[in-house]
Amino acid sequence: MSPDVRSKAITEAIDNDDSDILSACFVGPVFLTGLGNAERAAMKDRWRRKKFPAEVDRQQRLKAALTDLDRMQAGLLTFVDKMTDAVEIKRAEDAERAALTAKVA
């Protein structure tokens, strides 16, 4: 089967929700389907978007939220780092430790 004919057949299977063809394409060995890994991934993505649009949308929103969270975390750490003085914090912690050990002795 030529790549164009195969692509058309898979597209029709996605449109018609033909689980037999889709199972063969997505689960079968790559050497039997003639699909490369990238082409197989693209076809799976098309199928997911058609079959589960709400879930795909939710997944994308969650990924975007995690990206935003990572960006905010980096910003917060930079902010806290600029608002504090590591040397002074260490001196204060050392003084506190010394005071606590002095009380025990």
Share of the chain above pLDDT 70, in %: 97
Q: How many domains does the chain have?
A: 1
CA distance 23 to 64: 30
For 79-98, what is the mean pLDDT?
Answer: 89
pLDDT at residue 76, rounded to an integer: 93
Convert the pLDDT of each residue in 6-31 to its tens digit.
Answer: 889 999 999 999 999 999 888 888 88
Q: What is the mean pLDDT of residues 42-67?
A: 95
Which domain range does residue 17 map to? Answer: 1-51
- Measured in residues, the chain has a length of 105
Average pLDDT, the chain: 90
2 secondary structure, DSSP code:
-
- 40 domain-assigned: yes
Q: Is 3 inside any structural domain?
A: yes
Helix (H) or strand (E) holding 100: helix 86-104
Would you say residue 101 lies in a domain? no
